[in-house]
Chains A and B, each alone.
Chain A
Amino acid sequence: MSQATAANATVDTAPLKRQKRNRVLLQLACLAVSLFMLVPIYLISLAALSTRESLNKFPLSLLPTSFSLETLNAFLGSTGVFGALGNSLIVGVGTLLLSALIGVPAGYALARFAFPGKEPYQLFLLFTRALPIVVLSVPLARLFLTVDIYDTTYGVILLHTALALPTTILISASVFLGVPHDVEEAARVFGCSPFSAFMRVVMPMALPGIAAASIFTFVMSWNEVLGASILTLDHRTLPAQVLTSLADSPLAYRFAGGFALVIPSIIFIAFMRRYLTNMWGSTIR
C-alpha cells in the first residue's frame, strides 16, 4: 500500500497530459481544415436545392427547410447547359484515356530503363506547366483552326492531355518504381514475354496508383476553364459555359451552376477512392 502510493508520487504525468493535449489540438486542426472545405460546398448545395424565394429571405436558413429541385431544374434546362455537361464528360474521360495511353508507358520507361537524357527529359516534361494556359491556348486555337478541329471536344482533349501528361507520367513513374522488379522477373521466368509480364503482373499491381493519377487528370480537366473557353465557341465544357453566362444570370442560376460543377468531381473522387483502397485489401504501399 505504502509502496504503491510512493510509486504514484514519483510518476511524472506531465508528458502524458501533453501528449493528450497535442492529440486534441491535432483533431481540432483537422476539423478546422475539413470545415474550410466543407462549409462552402454545403452552402452551395443548400442554395442549389432551395426554392428561389427562400434565397431572398433574410436571415438565410442554414438548415434545409425548403427543399426543391426547381432551381437545379431551371439551371439544367437553360440553353447549352445539358450539352456542356456532356462535353465536359467527353473531354474529361477522353483526356483521362489519352493521357493514360501516352503517360503510363512513358512512366514505365522512366521507372525501369536507364537511357541517355533521362534527367533532362524529366525536367523538360514540366515545361508545359511552366507556360500560362493563355500563352498555350492562343497559338493552339490558330493551329486548330487550320487543321479544322477548332470548337470540337477533340481539340480540348488534346490541350487537356498536354496539360495532364507531366503529372500522369511522373506519378505513374513513381508508381512503377513501387512495383518490385523481381515480381516482373518472376513473371518472365515463368513464361511471360516482356509485354505479357507487363499486362498480367505489373499493370494490375500499378493500377491503384494509376487510378490516383487519373483522378487528378479528370478533376484537372473538369475544372479547367481558360483553355476550354478559348478553344471552343458552341461546344463548351460546363465550366466554360457557366463562366460565360455567369455575369448576366440570376443568383439561383449561379448556385445551381456551382453545385453542378462540384458534385460530379466529388462523386468521381469518392468512387476512385473506394477503388483505390479496396484494390487488394491494402492501400498503396
Chain B
Amino acid sequence: MADITISNLVKTYPGGTERATDDVSLHIADGSFTVLLGPSGCGKTTLLRMLAGLELPDSGAVSIGGRDVTYLPPNKRNISMVFQSYAVFPHRSVRYNIGFGLQMAKVPKEQIDKKVQWAADLLQLTPYLDRLPAKLSGGQRQRVAVARAIVVDADVLLMDEPLSNLDALLRLNFRSELKKIVQDLGTTTVYVTHDQSEALSLGDQVAVMRKGRIAQLGDPLDVYDAPSDRFVGGFIGSPPMNFVDAAVTPDGELVVGDQRLMAPSLLRSFGNHNIVLGVRAENVSVAKDRESGYIAATVLVVEPMGSTILLTVDVEGQTLKVQAPPSFRTAPHQTIWLGFSPNTMRFYDRETSMALEAN
C-alpha cells in the first residue's frame, strides 16, 4: 500500500497536437479509492496508463509510496490492473490466469494455490478454476481479471472501466461487490470510468476530467451538489443539472425572463449581472397551482420512471428537466408551477462557466 503523487504530468501522443493530459497534478491518499471520471478523450485513461507505466509522460513526475516511478517499466512498479476488455490469457486455465502475477513474482507454489483459492472463493470462481476463459461468460471473465489483480500484493490497484463491457444488471450487482472487495483489501485504488453513477457510488474522491485537465476534484457528494463549473454539472447526474439563463437585478433579485425568484443572499454581491442558474431535477418542487415564489412552466414531455415522473418543461423559452412525485398528474401543454429552494441553487458566470462564490 502506498500513496500516489502525480505532479505536472504532460503527455502528447505522437502525431497528436492536443495534450492528452495537460499539466495534471493529483495526490491520492494511501488506501483511498479515487475515480477518474470524464467523457471519452478527456485523458483519464492516458493518466491511468501513465500510472501503470504503459505510457510514458513527456514531462512531469509520478511517485508511488514516495518512490519515483515516472519512467519505470510496468513490471518494476508493483502495481496491479484490471483492464476494460478483461485481458485474461485465453490459452491458459482460470487457475493459471489468477496465479499469473504470483508466479511471475516467484511465490512458492503452496502459497500461490492458497491465494488463488481465496480469490476464487471471494469471486465465486471456484467451480471454473480448471476451465479455459473461452468457456466463461463475460461477467465471469471480468471476475477472473479482478481475481488476478487482487491476489498480487500490489501497492496500487488500477482499474480501467472494468464494468463497461458488462450488461446493465450485471454491472449494478458487480459494482457493489467490487466496492466491498476493494474496501476489505484496503489497497490504494485508481478507477477510470465515463459512467457518472459508478464514480459517485464507488469513489472516496472523484476527479472529473475534461480536455486533459482535472475540472473538479472532491468528495462525490460535493462534486454532485456543487459542480465547480457548467461542464461538471452537465456531466454528472442523470438527468444532468439544468442550466437556466437568468439575471440579477441591482437590488439582488433573481429574474428568469419576466418571472421573479426568491434569491439567496449570496447573489447580492452580483447585482446587475447576467448569470446562469444551475439546479438539479430533484431539487425543483412542482405544484399544479400557483404558490408564492414559484414560477410558471409549460409541460412538454411526461416520462413516468416508476419511482418518479420526469417532466421536460419550458420556462420562458428555456428547457428544464424536473422530477415530480409519481402521484403528480399532468399532461403536455398544461401549465405547472416550479419552486426552487435557495440552498440547492448554484450560480455560474455566463462567460467563464465557473461557479460564482460569495466574496
Binding site for B on A (CB under 8 A): 114, 180, 182-183, 185-194, 196, 201, 204-205, 279-282
The answer to the question of B329 belonging to the interface, with a C-beta cut-off of 8 Å to chain A, is: no
A192 to B89, CA, bound (A): 13
A183 to B75, CA, bound (A): 14
Q: Beyond A182-B85, A192-B75, A280-B134, list 7 extra A-B contacts (CB 8 Å).
A: A180-B87, A185-B74, A187-B100, A189-B79, A189-B80, A193-B73, A196-B104
Residues of chain A contacted by B92 (CB below 8 angstroms): 204
What does the 1/0 interface line of B76-111 toward A look like (CB < 8 Å)? 000111011101111110000000110011000000
Q: Are A189 and B104 touching (Cβ within 8 A)? A: no
The answer to the question of B52 belonging to the interface, with a C-beta cut-off of 8 Å to chain A, is: yes
Residues of chain B contacted by A193 (CB below 8 angstroms): 73, 75
Q: Are A189 and B134 touching (Cβ within 8 A)? A: no
Q: Which residue of A lies closest to B99 (CB)?
A: A190
Q: Which residue of B lies closest to A190 (CB)?
A: B101
Given known A-B contacts A280-B132, A281-B134, A281-B135, A189 and B91 have beta carbons under 8 A apart: no
The answer to the question of B62 belonging to the interface, with a C-beta cut-off of 8 Å to chain A, is: no
Q: Are B89 and A189 touching (Cβ within 8 A)? A: no
Q: Are A282 and B83 touching (Cβ within 8 A)? A: no
A97 to B14, CA, bound (A): 36
Q: Are A192 and B104 touching (Cβ within 8 A)? A: yes
User: Do most interface residues of chain A lie in helix, strand or loop, or is the interface mixed?
Assistant: helix
A221 to B132, CA, bound (A): 36
Q: Are B73 and A205 touching (Cβ within 8 A)? A: no
Q: Are B101 and A191 touching (Cβ within 8 A)? A: yes
A188 to B132, CA, bound (A): 21
Q: Are A190 and B100 touching (Cβ within 8 A)? A: yes
Q: Which residue of A lies closest to B75 (CB)?
A: A191
Residues of chain B contacted by A282 (CB below 8 angstroms): 134
Q: Are B132 and A186 touching (Cβ within 8 A)? A: no
Chosen A-B contacts, 6 in total, with CB atoms closer than 8 Å, are A185-B74, A186-B88, A189-B52, A201-B91, A281-B134, A282-B134
Which of under 10, 10 to 19, 20 to 34, or 35 or more describes the interface residues of B? 20 to 34
A157 to B135, CA, bound (A): 42
A180 to B84, CA, bound (A): 12
Q: Are B134 and A185 touching (Cβ within 8 A)? A: no
Binding site for A on B (CB under 8 A): 14, 52-54, 73-75, 79-81, 83-85, 87-92, 100-101, 104-105, 132, 134-135, 148, 152
Residues of chain B contacted by A191 (CB below 8 angstroms): 75, 101, 104-105, 152
A205 to B135, CA, bound (A): 16
The one of B14, B87, B134 that contacts A183, using a Cβ cutoff of 8 Å: B87
Residues of chain B contacted by A201 (CB below 8 angstroms): 89, 91
A159 to B279, CA, bound (A): 76
Residues of chain A contacted by B89 (CB below 8 angstroms): 183, 186-187, 201, 205
Q: Are B81 and A189 touching (Cβ within 8 A)? A: yes
Q: Are B80 and A180 touching (Cβ within 8 A)? A: no
Q: Which residue of A lies closest to B103 (CB)?
A: A191
Given known A-B contacts A192-B75, A280-B132, A185 and B104 have beta carbons under 8 A apart: no
Given known A-B contacts A182-B85, A190-B148, A205 and B90 have beta carbons under 8 A apart: yes
A194 to B73, CA, bound (A): 9
Residues of chain A contacted by B83 (CB below 8 angstroms): 182, 185-186
* Interface hub of B53, B84, B91 (most chain A Cβ within 10 A): B91
Q: Are B134 and A182 touching (Cβ within 8 A)? A: no
Q: Are B75 and A280 touching (Cβ within 8 A)? A: no
Residues of chain A contacted by B101 (CB below 8 angstroms): 190-191
Q: Are A185 and B132 touching (Cβ within 8 A)? A: no
Q: Are A188 and B73 touching (Cβ within 8 A)? A: yes
Q: Which residue of A lies closest to B151 (CB)?
A: A190
Given known A-B contacts A182-B85, A280-B132, A280-B134, A189 and B75 have beta carbons under 8 A apart: yes
Q: Which residue of B lies closest to A197 (CB)?
A: B75
Residues of chain A contacted by B135 (CB below 8 angstroms): 281
A113 nearest CB across to chain B (Å): 12
A66 to B92, CA, bound (A): 51
Q: Are A188 and B91 touching (Cβ within 8 A)? A: no
